[in-house]
Structure 1
Amino acid sequence: MGPVTDTRTRPVALAVWLVIAGAVGWWAAYSLTMERFELLANPGAAASCDFSVLVQCTANLESPQGSAFGFPNPILGLACWVAPIVVGMAILAGARFATWFWLLFLAGMTFAFGFVLWLIGQSIFVLGTLCPWCMVTWVVTIPSFYAVLLHTLRIVGTGAISRTAARLTGWLPLLAIVSFAVIAVIAQLRLDVLDNLF
């Protein structure tokens, strides 16, 4: 039997994060779905996560951007956040995934990351609102993408790419914090968040 390679390692820390992020993301999607049902049942009502003109869910849920694919975005979250939970639990149970699986999983996370970036732009620059449950989704999607990207590069990359990805993995928390800070600065400059929270 040959030596164990990087593609066969068990990324336990990544697995734990995927389970946590998946559960948090799924709960946010579930909460938004319930809010959407409530708004459909009671037109004109305010969602329970409406705290001010700036911080609210209603404007986002009832906007065209809130149904980007023809159905409410939270339904997409309900379906898709199960995947990181399953992958994370499978790794913790001892599963080893092939390179092609990680590439497909990265493709899915890249879609999620791109979609979230689009939604962030729409929220800040078009709708002028910050949806609390949407922001929870942002908080788990962004670092999840970075984590899966670096892990995939580490196992499929060669030479410098793999080594760089392995080194950057330790900087994931800082990378996520910097990303959140950039979003916060943009939101502040565009929406004057500090003066319009309540």
Structure 2
Amino acid sequence: MPAQTEPYRRPIGLAVFLIVAGVVGWYSAFDLTLEKIRTLMNPGYVPSCDISPLVTCGPNMASAQGSVFGFPNPIIGVAAFVAPIVVGVAILAGARFAKWFWVLFNLGFALGLAFVVWLIGQSIFVLGTLCPYCMLVWLVMIPLFLYVTAYNLKEGNFGNGAGSREIAALLYPWVWIVAVLCYLVIVVMAQLRLDAITSIIQSL
């Protein structure tokens, strides 16, 4: 008797999250790109995201870290954050993607997260600033990677066995806790290095 395959269930929750997180990330990257253009057009322009000496995006945009590949980093975000939006909308429309697509999609988030982790370190430990729009990107990139990875493990898209799929399915609803723990690590680093909480309170 042939083995029965489980009916495909569209990941509606993941699709909605991809769209919302993609829109937040795209907006942040787009707005930061506009601020960069305005500073190039007018050297005396003060970016709207310059809230205090600590919470500011001007030094980040002007630094070498802000143009790692020879052009402003936000341009990468403007292009890249379209992907989760399109994939999320496609899933809601009934699209079903092959395993190799999900693996490549996951790889894109892994590379993006690696870049974001490097930028977090540069921002906190080298530049000594917290860029508001950059932090919005951090906010969405971390759970985007975690949820897509957990989904792929749950669905066996990495070629993993039934055991690991079952474990991933059990842990999948709790991925947000891992994301929160990552946020707490960033907060602790910023506090220890920059006394961020005190500085933010004083600027209010």
Q: TM-score, normalised by structure 1?
A: 0.95
Is 1:175 the equivalent of 2:178?
yes
Which residue is equivalent to 1:97?
A: 97
| Number of the residue aligned with 1:59 | 59
Partner of 1:141: 141
Moved more, 154-163 or 138-147: 154-163
- Partner residue in 1 for 2:26: 26
Aligned residues: 197
Question: How many percent identity over aligned positions?
Answer: 52
Which residue, out of 178, 183, 193, partners 1:190? Answer: 193
In structure 2, the residue matched to 1:87 is 87
Point out where structure 2 has 5 or more consecutive residues left out of the alignment.
Answer: none
- Given that residues 55 and 129 in structure 1 are in contact (C-alpha distance below 8 angstroms), is that contact kept between their aligned partners in structure 2? yes
Shift of 1:111: 0.6
Q: Distance in 2 between matches of 1:124 and 1:56?
A: 12
CA offset digits 1:36-61 (Å, max 9, x no partner): 00110111422111011100010111
Residues 90 and 3 from structure 1, CA distance in 2 versus in 1: closer, same or farther, beyond 3 angstroms? farther
SS at match of 2:85: helix
Deviates more, 1:137-146 or 1:166-175: 166-175
- Work out whether 1:108 is the aligned partner of 2:108: yes
Q: Looking at both structures, which has the greater relative contact order when contacts are Cα pairs under 8 Å and sequence separation is at least 6? A: 1
Structure 1 residue ranges without an equivalent (≥5): none
The corresponding residue for 1:158 is: 161
Q: What code does the residue aligned with 2:133 have?
A: W
Q: What residue number does 1:120 align with? A: 120
Shift of 1:114: 0.7
CA contact under 8 A between 1:30 and 1:78: conserved in structure 2?
Answer: yes
C-alpha distance in structure 1 between counterparts of 2:189 and 2:23, whole Å: 28
Given residue 173 of structure 2, which amino acid in structure 1 is its aligned partner?
Answer: G
Q: State the shift of 1:3 in Å.
A: 4.3
CA distance in 1, matches of 2:9, 2:82: 23
Q: Which residue of 1 aligns with 2:9?
A: 9
Distance 1:110 1:117 in 2: 10
Q: Displacement of 1:160 after TM fit?
A: 2.2
More divergent stretch after superposition (175-184 vs 81-90): 175-184
2:71 aligned with 1:71: yes
Report Cα offsets for 1:11-68 as digits up to 9, x if no partner: 1110000000001100001100010001101114221110111000101111111111
SS in 2 for 1:45: coil
RMSD, aligned α-carbons? 1.5
Contact 1:116–1:138 (8 Å) recurs in 2 = yes
Superposed CA offset, 1:118-174 (max 9, x none):
110000000000000000010011000000000111122212221121112111221
Looking at structure 2, the residues matched to 5 and 72 of structure 1 have their Cα atoms a distance apart, in angstroms, of: 46
- 1:9–1:96: 8 Å Cα contact kept in structure 2? no
What is the distance in 1 between the residues matched to 2:148 and 2:69?
A: 25
